[in-house]
């Protein structure tokens, strides 16, 4: 009898869970399946992990600026006229309008670190840095050493990291940095009891702002693997950008939002060992020296910073990608390492093709996150049948996140094309309005296609069959 009562109670709780998440049916389904397979533990996980996170306060713009709309609508920017709606919608949803600036495209880790470290060394007044991953390796140690030395020299330095992505640095290096004057905070730190609200949410942003005038954004974290020289990882294909001008203020605004929810890190207790660590941090010889920075052209453009997070009523980055697909007139080129969209986005891709838009999707042939890679396979056949050109990249590990629309609008940043980025992470993207930047990113896309192969529906069914593992991974996709 007590087993029957326990089963009934569990059923009622699972039903309550489903009803509570009725406005997000795919998410509700994933949790119901989880609770069915691990009855008690599943409910406990839901109660802890599905609790809302703290709301980051932001001043949302009432409307797009008249200047930005006028510039996007001028004859010189005729290709952008049909995309003005993107700027208007993102101004409403994310709180930042398009502003003037320049952008330099950085196509790999070596060039990114060369430009970034050079700019950090020249900082005169302030440095704000936010990363999902900072490794405790030669690249990470070089980066942290620069921050420590600049803080000791009187520069205001603030460092914000994710509690899981940068776990090793959080435990071993941040107290030392705090001891030399770096203001350090951690978003969603891993602390006892380890199963805490927020543990399933991550700060996935990569933002650096130097002296309020130069910024960096993209897919590259701080670690040796991004240089392509880490043993066992191999070559790494990624995209980052250097931003200057008024557009940097958008990155600064997003940093302040995320800084507001970080937890302060205190300096380590004073001891001879701690003091020795601080001296080494300040005076140690860098283990990694990037090559000389390639002086790529700085491209003038209008830019808009778009952020999203689990505290937002609208999934802003998902809405951005949706608008790119629905507003496109001619072409959409998409690069992403992790492809697990929802029904709205797959429908938008199919409808874009039906309207005569050429949609090309470039994804890795071998995903470094196995479950995500399995889930991605379940989308390939239906998209290929609808006319989406699917390309599998096999030359290197693909980690870039870029969308180019009609050769006039570009999106690059930290956000992947998956449900975790849309629903669970703090994310940031930079929208670049202008043909010159789009042309450079399109050239990079075409170069990447040379190292990829196009797959037909027949090849997908033969080479990438959808089995039980793939279907199971897709069911759990909302929780990945």
Q: Which residues are catalytic?
A: 204, 206, 211, 399, 401, 406
238 SS3 class: coil
- Contacts for 381-387 with beta carbons within 8 Å, 24 or more apart? 381/457, 381/460, 381/461, 381/466, 382/346, 383/346, 383/349, 383/350, 384/455, 384/456, 384/457, 384/460, 385/457, 386/349, 386/350, 386/353, 386/354, 387/350, 387/353, 387/354, 387/359
Q: From residue 149, give the alpha-carbon distance in Å to each of 66, 181, 216, 221, 296.
A: 43, 9, 20, 21, 28
- Based on its alpha-carbon atoms, the radius of gyration of the chain, rounded to whole angstroms, reads 23
* Helix orientation angle between 84-94 and 316-327, rounded to the nearest 10 degrees: 170
Residue 150: strand, helix, or coil: helix
φ and ψ at 133, to 5 degrees?
-125, 125
Q: Which of 361, 339, 376, 347 is nearest to 466 (CA)?
A: 376
- Asked if residue 322 lies in contact with residue 314, where contact means CB atoms within 8 angstroms, the answer is no
Work out the number of other CB atoms within 10 angstroms of the CB of residue 474: 21
- Pairing verdict, β 402-405 and 331-335: antiparallel
**331-335 and 263-264 beta bridge pairing:** unpaired
Contact 189, 170 (CB under 8 A): yes
What is each CA distance from 435 to 66, 76, 358, in whole angstroms?
21, 10, 18
The number of CA neighbours under 13 Å toward the Cβ of 76 is 6
Strand runs (DSSP E) across 36-133, as ranges?
Answer: 99-106, 126-131
H or E stretch at 82: none
Among candidates 407, 395, 421, which has minimal Cα distance to 360?
407
CA dist 96 → 305, 318, 411, 417, 450 (Å)? 6, 17, 15, 22, 37
CA distance 184 to 266: 8
């Amino acid at each position: 009898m007590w087993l029957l009562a326990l089963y009934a109670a569990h059923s009622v709780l699972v039903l309550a869970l489903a009803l509570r998440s009725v406005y997000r049916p795919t998410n509700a389904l994933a949790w119901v399946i989880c609770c069915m397979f691990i009855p008690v533990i599943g409910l406990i996980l839901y109660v802890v992990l599905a609790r809302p996170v703290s709301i980051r306060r932001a001043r949302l713009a009432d409307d797009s600026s008249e200047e930005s709309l006028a510039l996007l609508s001028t004859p010189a920017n005729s290709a952008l006229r049909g995309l003005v709606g993107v700027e208007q919608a993102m101004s409403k949803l994310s709180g930042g309008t398009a502003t003037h600036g320049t952008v330099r495209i950085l196509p790999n880790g070596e060039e990114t670190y060369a430009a970034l470290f050079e700019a950090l060394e020249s900082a005169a007044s302030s440095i704000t840095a936010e990363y999902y991953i900072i490794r405790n390796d030669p690249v990470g140690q070089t980066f942290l050493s620069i921050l420590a030395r600049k803080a000791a020299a009187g520069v205001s330095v603030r460092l914000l990291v994710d509690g899981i992505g940068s776990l090793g640095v959080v435990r071993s290096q941040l107290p030392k940095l705090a001891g030399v004057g770096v203001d350090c905070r951690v978003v969603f730190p891993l602390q006892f009891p380890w199963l805490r609200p927020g543990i399933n949410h991550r700060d996935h942003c990569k933002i650096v702002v130097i002296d309020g005038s130069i910024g960096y954004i993209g897919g590259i974290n701080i670690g040796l693997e991004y240089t392509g020289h880490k043993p066992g990882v191999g070559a790494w294909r990624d995209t980052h950008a250097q931003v200057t001008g008024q557009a940097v203020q958008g990155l600064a605004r997003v940093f302040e939002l995320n800084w507001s929810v970080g937890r302060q890190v205190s300096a380590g207790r004073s001891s001879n060992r701690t003091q020795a660590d601080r001296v080494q941090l300040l005076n140690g010889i860098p283990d990694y020296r990037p090559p000389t920075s390639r002086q790529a052209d700085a491209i003038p453009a209008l830019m808009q910073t778009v952020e999203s997070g689990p505290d937002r009523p609208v999934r802003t980055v998902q809405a951005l990608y949706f608008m790119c697909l629905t507003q496109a007139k001619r072409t959409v080129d998409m690069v992403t390492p992790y492809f697990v969209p929802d029904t709205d986005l797959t429908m938008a891709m199919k409808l874009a093709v039906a309207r005569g838009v050429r949609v090309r999707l470039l994804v890795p042939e071998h995903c470094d996150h196995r479950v995500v890679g399995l889930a991605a396979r379940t989308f390939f056949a239906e998209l290929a049948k609808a006319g989406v050109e699917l390309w599998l990249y096999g030359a290197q590990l693909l980690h870039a996140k870029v969308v180019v629309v009609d050769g006039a609008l570009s999106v690059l940043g930290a956000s992947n094309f998956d449900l975790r980025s849309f629903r669970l992470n703090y994310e940031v993207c930079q929208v670049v309005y202008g043909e010159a930047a789009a042309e450079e990113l399109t050239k990079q896309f075409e170069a990447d296609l040379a190292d990829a192969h196009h797959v037909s529906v027949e090849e997908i069914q033969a080479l990438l069959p959808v089995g039980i593992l793939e279907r199971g991974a897709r069911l759990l996709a909302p929780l990945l």
